[in-house]
Structures are given as structure tokens and as C-alpha cells.
Chains A and B, each alone.
Chain A
Amino acid sequence: MYPDSLQGLIDELARLPGIGPKSAQRIALSVVKRGPNDARRLADALVDAVTKVRPCRECFSLSDGELCPVCANPARDPAIICVVEGERDVLAFERAKAFSGRYHVLGGVINPLEGTSPEDLHLKELIERLRSSAVQEVVLATSATVEGEATARYLARLLEPSGIKVSRLATGVPAGGDLDYVDEVTLGMALEGRRQL
């Protein structure tokens, strides 16, 4: 029903995550209507990003150069490393502006069902980093899922011989939230992890 060239664009767009067939149609039609100048800008931006962005040599977060902005920033504390599952988690922490240390992106979690084993994660590189620099604390910030928790335990075991302090991100009540709306499992964990005032 659509001309072949347009259908080709729709098919390509629909392969992207979060874009269903209907959204793909809408985006494709809008791109066509906006004309060749806008399309070229979009194409350039796409190619530019894909060719320039690569994993940071240190932390495997996304970067334009050898080092990501965090690793390149001398003001960031090298003594504390926050271990996360993916690049998006780094952005979440950066938005929060609450962390002044550095990151390490694992690139996933240990998940035998999906065939992800420890060798598929950037673990060796983490150990290497810990060996070559004066890191005092590792914060395990994998998500609170079955696999995220298992990965955190795995890392804790791996790091035990090094004597470096290992901590786990707390689970609890969201800021500004009504206790009423917190699900009972989270509330139970928040109670377990309570601290003295």
C-alpha cells in the first residue's frame, strides 16, 4: 500500500526498541513530509553518533573519545567505583548528581536462562582496574531483580579476597512518597535496612 521506499523506512524504524508498527508509520510519514533537509540532518546525526560513540576505555560507559566525561574529569573521586548493569544506569546516577565517584558498566547481569555468564560481563576489566588504582570502595548498584541480586553476590565473592570495602545499594521508600503507596515487599526491605538517627 505504501511505496516501496517508504515501506522500507517503516520496516527499519519498526526494528528499533519501543517502536511498534503504528509508531513506525507515523515517524516515517512525518520524516517524508518534513522534506530532504530535515532528513539529511537526521541521517547525519545518526551516522555521526554511531561512528563516534564507543565504550569508554576505563568504565565501558558511552563516550565520544577514549575516555567518557566522568573518567576524564579529574574532580571525580577515583577511590569509589559504582558498578551498574548498563549505560542507562550511569545516566540515571548522573541525573541524580549525588555520586562523585566513578562508574563501571558490566554490560548486563548473570542470567543462565538467557545464556549470559560472568565471562560475558566486563568483570575482568573491573578486577584489573581495582588492581591498578587505589580504589577504597565498590558500590554494587545492579537492580533489585533476582538476577541483579545474584550478580551483586557474585561480585561480592569475587572482591572478597581484595579486602576492598563492598557495599550494596539500599532498597526503600521513594523520596516524597506516601508510605501508603509503597508496595509491601519494598516496605519490608526498607524496614530491614533502617538506620539509627
Chain B
Amino acid sequence: MIVESLRASGFRNLSRFEIALDPGITLIFGKNGQGKTNLLEAAYASISHRSFRTSDLVSLINENDEYSRLESNITLAGGRRADLVNVFSRSDRDRVQLNNRIVKGRKEFDRFPVVAFVPGDVELSRGAPSIRRDFLDGVGAYVTTGYSSLIASAERLLRQRQTLIRSSNPDITSLDVFDSRYAEVSEQVAMEREAVVAQLDPIAGSIHRWLSGGEEKISICYRRSWEGSCNEQLFKARKEDIRKGTTSYGCHRDDLALEIDGRPMRSFGSQGQARSFAFSLKLAAANLIEKTLNETPVVILDDIFSELDEERVARLLDGLPKYQILISHTTIPPVGLEMRTLEIRQGVVRV
């Protein structure tokens, strides 16, 4: 898919703007603090009603405004057109319009894939397991039908179980029921996540081989928090769980193990390797989404040039698939590549 044009008002520090975008690479440059990332965020939010920085969507609204409005005109695979309007409101309900009709829920957004790589993504290899689970779930939502509602049931069941074990005198049969339901749904979630990993692993491996010039080999593997039956393990841990007020087993405790050259990334990878590992994963996600949806995702690369060494960036931009790509940087970088440039100064976009 291609975002042909983007209009925004009341978005963070950005002055109201309207820009046409290229189907290829667009570079957004400007000094620090001028609004480069905000512009990328506006593009991201206009096709996902989300942010890659925060879950608090009110913070997207300019502090002097009551609401923020993003409009984008999109061309999908096969030439179909879609017009999206996203309104983020301080006091009212947020609103999304697709082709002038109000849409509810997140489902429609699964048709407009977008993948962002931001400096914080280095945490994918070093941070908490929840960051890796969220990454997997983000990909799963695009490539597996019913994935989001499965995750929502798991979260709901976990919250019910947590409330139950923290109550003063938990009803044992209720606990049996919520445990077995949560275990059942956890097994389903693990299976779906394993299926996503099985597809992602070879793609990430070959992308990384290319990105590192054939020097490094990476692999990813899903690690369940339980062995055998989740329900049995939960049952065995119940006494301890009630004492601690936690749930020891289930899909909320699973992790994605990352390995580089056969060793765990967490303890052996350098900072630079952590960045390129994360980048390979994100690009693999874009690739898998494209294959599954038959729709090219929009790729957003925030501050990529300071994230990777020059050699990798050159190789990267040269060999990237034909996605629509938005990049931010402080200057126009010295890479001999065809790209459109947009300058941003004090929140004003200059074409």
C-alpha cells in the first residue's frame, strides 16, 4: 500500500500541514527537537490509530488543541483507494472514518499494515519478555485471523484469575474453572505464536545474513513458561500462587529466545548487534505481513542512520524491498540514493 497524501492538524508540535508522499523513500530531515519523529508518528497513527511511542493517545494532541485530526489517502494493492480519517479527542470519543463511513473497533486497520523501527526497539533483544511478546502479537494480529480476540480472552481470563487468587478466600471450584480455561487459552496462544515464529525465523535469518554481509547468523525460538500441560503446572503452583498473588504459568510468562551465532543475544550481543537484530526482526515482520496479506506495508525508520553503521545502512537502503519508506535524520545523508526530502523546522513541514 502507498500513502499518497497526509493532512494533519492539532498533532503534537506540528503546524497544520498537507503533504503528498512518494511511493519510494522519503527522507524527513531537520535539527533535533524540530518534529521529525512527530511527523513519522503522524504518518503511523494516520493508518493505524496507534503510536509507536505511547499508548496514551491523548498525548498526540497539541496542548493548545481540543482534538487532533489526521487524514490520509491510500492506494492499496490492485489500485483500490481508501481514505482514512482519524480524530483523537481530549474529551470526546476518538473517531475513525474509512471512505466517509464511521468504523468501530480495530479490525479495519488490519488491512493497512505499517511497521516502524525506532531507537527504542533495541529493547527487543535486551528488554523485558513482554516487549518481545508484544512484538509477536503485533505481527500475529496481521497474519492470523482471530488472533487479537484470542489475546483479549487470555488477558481477561488472567485478570479474573488474578482477582480470584488475591481475594481473601478464593472459591476452589471457580479457581479450577478459571485455571483450566486460562491454561487452555494459553496453549492456543502459544501455538499461534509458535506458528508466527516458525514463519518469521527463516525470513529474519536470511535478512540478517544479508544485512551483516554474511557474517552473522541469528535465530528465534518461542519458549513456553510451562512444560507438558499448562493446567497441571498451574494446579501444582496454586498454593504458592495464592501466597504470592501471582500466576506462575501461562502465555503471559512466555518469551521469545533470540540467538546470535548460536549464543543467547541477551548475554552475548553487543549494542550494535542488538540494533541490527531488532531491525532484522522488524523487516522480517514486514516481509511476512506482505506475503500473508498480499499488501506491502509502509515502513517507518526513525533515526536509522545513527542506529546502524554506514556500511549496513548503505546495504540496507540499496537492498530494501519496494516498500514505501519514511526515514528521519538530522541531515541529508551521503548515500547515493534516490529519495524525496522534506525539511522540518520548528514544527513546520517544508516541501
Contacts and interface: CB of A to CB of B under 8 A. Distances in A.
B146 A184 contact: yes
B153 A146 contact: yes
Contact of B174 (A110, A113, A146, A188): A110
Contacts of B153: 146
B31 interface: no
Interface string A147-158: 101100110011
Contact of A117 (B156, B174, B180): B174
B232 interface: no
Nearest to A153: B177
B174 A154 contact: yes
A151 to B, nearest CB: 8
A23 interface: no
Contacts of B178: 112, 150
B173 A146 contact: no
B149 A185 contact: yes
Contacts of A146: 153, 156-157, 160, 181
Interface in B131-184: 145-146, 149-150, 153, 156-157, 159-161, 163-164, 167, 171, 173-174, 176-178, 180-181
A118 B174 contact: yes
A85 to B, nearest CB: 16
A154 B171 CA distance: 11
B146 A188 contact: yes
Contacts of B145: 184, 188
B288 to A, nearest CB: 19
A167 interface: no
A185 B153 CA distance: 12
Interface residues of B, number: 21
Nearest to A156: B177
Contacts of B150: 185
B177 A150 contact: yes
Contacts of A153: 177, 180-181
Contact of B160 (A111, A184, A185): A111
Interface string A118-157: 1100000000000000000000000000110110011001
Given A149-B181, A153-B181, A113 B159 contact: yes
B282 to A, nearest CB: 26
A157 B175 CA distance: 12
A118 B173 contact: yes
A158 B156 CA distance: 23
Contacts of B160: 111-113, 146-147, 150
Contact of B146 (A111, A119, A185): A185
Nearest to A155: B177
A78 B202 CA distance: 61
Nearest to A184: B145
B85 to A, nearest CB: 24
A158 B146 contact: no
A111 B160 CA distance: 7
A157 B146 contact: no
Contacts of A188: 145-146
Contacts of B180: 153
A157 B177 contact: yes
Contact of B173 (A112, A149, A154): A154
A113 B164 CA distance: 8
B181 A150 contact: yes
B177 A154 contact: yes
Contacts of A111: 160
Contacts of B164: 112
A154 B160 CA distance: 14
23 contacts: A110-B174, A110-B177, A112-B163, A112-B164, A112-B167, A113-B159, A113-B160, A113-B163, A117-B174, A118-B173, A146-B160, A147-B160, A149-B181, A153-B177, A153-B180, A153-B181, A157-B176, A158-B173, A184-B145, A184-B146, A185-B146, A185-B150, A188-B146
Interface of A: 110-113, 117-119, 146-147, 149-150, 153-154, 157-158, 184-185, 188
Interface of B: 145-146, 149-150, 153, 156-157, 159-161, 163-164, 167, 171, 173-174, 176-178, 180-181
Task: Name the 5 nearest CB pairs between A and B, nearest first.
Answer: A112-B163, A184-B145, A112-B164, A146-B156, A185-B146
Given A111-B160, A146-B157, A146-B181, 19 more contacts: A112-B160, A112-B163, A112-B174, A112-B178, A113-B159, A113-B163, A117-B171, A117-B174, A119-B171, A147-B160, A150-B160, A150-B181, A153-B181, A154-B177, A157-B176, A184-B146, A185-B149, A188-B145, A188-B146
